Amino acid sequence: MSGNIAILGYGLSAIGPGIGIGLIFAAYINGVARQPEARGMLQTIAILGFALAEALAIFGLVLAFVFK
């Protein structure tokens, strides 16, 4: 079996954001279910949080290719 260990690093770096994004959207769904009229406001906040949490996974991806 051949491959690159850097890709494993990407896998590790994707765990945290994966959990984080799951929590963010769980909270968003909860919020909308409780108060449907707050959807517009919550959506912006949820997507902002999603973008910030995702950054770590993207770092991992880019670094996996950089240190190849």
Partner 1 sequence: MSPTALATPFLAAASGDGGGYHAPEPQEFYQPLIGHGDWALTRPIVVMAISVGLIAWFLLATTKRASVVPSRGQWVTEALHTFVRNSLARDIIGSKEFLRFVPALFTLFSILLVNNLFGIIPPIQFPTMGRIGFPIALTLVVYVVYHTVGIRKKGFRNYIGGMIPKGLPGPIYILIVPLELLTQFITQPLTLSLRLFGNMFAGHMLLLLFITGGQYMVIHGSIGLKFAGAGSFVMAFVLMIFEGLIELLQAYIFTLLAATYIAAALADEH
- Positions in the binding site for partner 1 (CB under 8 A): 40-41, 44, 47-48, 50-52, 54-55, 58-59, 61-62, 65
Smallest distance from partner 1 to CB 27, Å: 18
Give Rg (Cα) of the chain: 16
Q: What angle do CA 23, 54, 27 make, to 5 degrees?
A: 20
Task: Pick the closer one to partner 1 by CB: 5 or 44.
Answer: 44
Task: Pick the closer one to partner 1 by CB: 18 or 50.
Answer: 50
Asked if residues 32 and 38 have their Cβ atoms less than 8 Å apart, the reply is yes
Smallest distance from partner 1 to CB 63, Å: 10
The one-letter code for the residue type at 4 is: N
